[in-house]
Chains A and B, each alone.
Chain A
Amino acid sequence: MTDESAGQDIRLYGLSKYYGDFRALDDVNLHVAAGEFLTLLGPSGSGKSTLLMALAGFVEPTHGDIFVGGSSITALAPEKRDFGVVFQGYALFPHMTVAGNVGYPLKVRGLGKPEIAAKVRDALDLVQLGHLATRLPKQLSGGQQQRVALARALVFSPKMLLLDEPMGALDKKLRHDLQLELRQLHRRLGRTFVNVTHDQEEAMAMSDRIAIMRAGKIEQLGAPRALYDAPETRFVADFLGKSNFIEGKVTGIDAGIATLDTADGPVVHALGTRPAGIGDSLLLALRPQKLMLGPGPNSRKATVETAIFLGTHAEVSLRCASGLALALNLGIENAQALPAEGTTVELGWDPAATVAVRPD
């Protein structure tokens, strides 16, 4: 038997779920390492919640296998899986107190009263809610309910914790605080966490790795930084932060720098680890904050359509001569000198700022 406090790894092999012709999950293969915090990120309908519910045992996969710590759990009933689940909306039992909710998993496991009381106290202390044990869920704020749900899902020391949009119902400020808390909790407990969200900021803030889901498949899997800096597809580049997209044909390559012919003239692009040949069509993704005003490499002129100051940065919408729209973010140090709407400005970007992505 492994150490109770350690997480276990999850392996999915060819997991599929069909509803008639609709493929909610389409041949998903995934390995979640023991003790990892993995987030399934995607728009609604991408299959992320279906995947989580399949893990929890509430969705029976059409094909495929789920292994936890080396043994298959595909045929196991939900109550036998020993996963803590934090549901969307928390799903606290309205007819039980906070202590009743947290004690429930221990009670159904047949633990004695003193033991339950001690464990409930520890779990509530973990989420700093010890003083609210006798309240009913409806007497708690959204953030407190979320913590109770967390305590309830952790109190029986499950091998892993599944979180279904755990921050969905909270306001932005609270969400940020709880993200940090959840991250710390994960580091402290060392268990495997699988989180589902459509909020890319939440995914970036908490996860060791992010799996970006689309149409029932995992589009790309990697550390937040790697996904952000090196998206493989147009979808990922656009979903995880914003991107500008520039299409062009390679006309020359010199020392890893390709020259592309685009609608707005030539563009130089550092190929990096993604090789290309002369004559290839490339789609380049370019982050708005990597665009710079003023002369430089890839210099061109564009008209300012809107310029909005947002406190931490400014957002400028530009249009090039070809009609291509570009979004540009100015850092706070440059935001003071915001260009006027309707004026023509010169802009450019570093050849290494663009990354070639697969079109959809």
Chain B
Amino acid sequence: MPSPADKTARPTGFRVALRDARGHLDPHWWLVAPILILVVCLYLLPLGNVLLLSVSDPKPGLDNYERIATASGPLKVLLTTLRLCAITTVISIVLGFCVAFAMAHVRETHQRILVVAVLVPLWISVLIRAFSWLVLLRDQGPVNDWLMQSGAIDQPLALVRNELGVVIGMVHYLIPYAVLPIFAVMRGIDQRLLFASRSLGAGAVTTFLKVYLPLTLPGVFAATVIVFVFGLGFYVTPAILGGGRVVMLAESVSVAILQTVRWGFGAAQSVVLLVLTLVLIGIMAKTVGLKKGFG
């Protein structure tokens, strides 16, 4: 005898609830069970351990967190991280906006070329990219050589082994993550809105500022959060292009774990990184929605 709930049950392929109307577990969940078990065992449990370590090593209490917030070294690392992320984000968003704008408005064949050009760097290892920048930007590198030969400068510019180098490397890595959400939003903007604005008496600049730009803001905001969050966790790029002079949070964690063997302190820094990330993603989810933000 079918129950009344059967009438409302949709085909199983579209069912999304964990349990169906009669309280049975959807059998599709068994397909992801192995991954769920792996994630819990290899990720969530160790993460819990990290949390525990941060408040128990070397002795129970919040000493490690106090150190991050007050001691000059760790505080400087945190501020450097936030500052570099902010600078990188602003540059990446501005450049990414330009690239996305071009992508959204060129012919379809050109658009495909641009999409590939944006995506290809993502397939190249971050390590290779960092070393490439090091080669290009060092004192005897091609960039400084060329500038000196052309007579623009007498002394090589300090382009790497400082914050500038780190920012260059990070921007290069992060631009695709700025381009894609903005591009997704731009592509969804109805051309007729721009026509409407022009027909109502607004020139091209006014139309851009009053209609186009506000409509791209969800994409810009999503891109900002994504780029900033990615930037927070950067390790290889600052380590190589900073030449040891620019220490960001991830590297500081690595030092604490591997070199100074202060696991509790490293764990606390990891937790700070994680909380910053989650808060930012939370803000994005609340304001623009995760789905929109990630295209």
Contacts and interface: CB of A to CB of B under 8 A. Distances in A.
Interface stretch (A37-45, A85-93, A114-122, A348-356): A85-93
Most buried by B among A79, A92, A156: A79
Given A105-B200, A108-B201, A85 B190 contact: no
Interface in B235-282: none
B24 to A, nearest CB: 38
A172 interface: no
Classify chain A: how many residues form its interface, as a range.
Answer: 20 to 34
A108 B199 contact: no
SS class of chain B's interface: helix, strand, loop or mixed? helix
A57 interface: yes
A287 interface: no
A88 B192 contact: yes
B89 to A, nearest CB: 23
B292 interface: no
B211 A93 contact: yes
Contact of B198 (A78, A84, A94, A153): A78
B292 to A, nearest CB: 13
B195 A56 contact: yes
Interface of A: 56-58, 77-79, 81-85, 87-89, 91-95, 104-105, 108-109, 152-153, 156, 162
B201 to A, nearest CB: 5
Contacts of A94: 193, 215
A84 B202 contact: no
B214 A85 contact: no
Contact of B195 (A87, A105, A109, A152): A87
B192 A79 contact: no
B203 interface: yes
Interface in B176-226: 190, 192-193, 195-203, 206, 210-211, 214-215
Contacts of B199: 56-58, 78-79, 81, 83-85, 153, 162
22 contacts: A56-B199, A58-B198, A77-B198, A78-B195, A78-B199, A79-B200, A79-B201, A79-B203, A83-B199, A84-B199, A84-B200, A85-B195, A85-B196, A87-B196, A88-B192, A91-B192, A91-B193, A91-B196, A104-B202, A105-B200, A105-B201, A162-B199
Contacts of B190: 89, 91
A108 B215 contact: no
A82 B198 contact: no
A115 to B, nearest CB: 15
A104 B206 CA distance: 11
B57 to A, nearest CB: 51
A108 B210 contact: yes
B195 A91 contact: yes
A300 B62 CA distance: 104
Contact of B192 (A82, A84, A87, A95): A87
Most buried by A among B200, B210, B211, B215: B200
A208 B203 CA distance: 33
A104 B197 CA distance: 8
B214 A95 contact: yes
A85 B200 CA distance: 8
A36 B190 CA distance: 31
A84 B200 CA distance: 7
Contacts of A92: 196
A77 B203 CA distance: 9
B195 A108 contact: no
A340 B196 CA distance: 55
Given A58-B195, A88-B192, A152-B200, 11 more contacts: A79-B200, A84-B199, A85-B195, A85-B199, A89-B190, A91-B192, A93-B196, A93-B197, A94-B215, A152-B196, A156-B201
Contacts of B210: 104, 108
Task: Report the 3 A-B pairs with minimum CB-CB distance, sorted nearest first.
Answer: A105-B200, A91-B196, A91-B192
A153 B195 CA distance: 12
Contact of A82 (B196, B201, B203, B215): B201
A147 to B, nearest CB: 15
B200 A108 contact: yes
B198 A93 contact: no
A236 B199 CA distance: 32
Contacts of B214: 95
Contacts of A104: 197, 200, 202, 210
Contacts of A83: 199
Contacts of A85: 195-196, 199-200
B232 to A, nearest CB: 30
B196 A109 contact: no
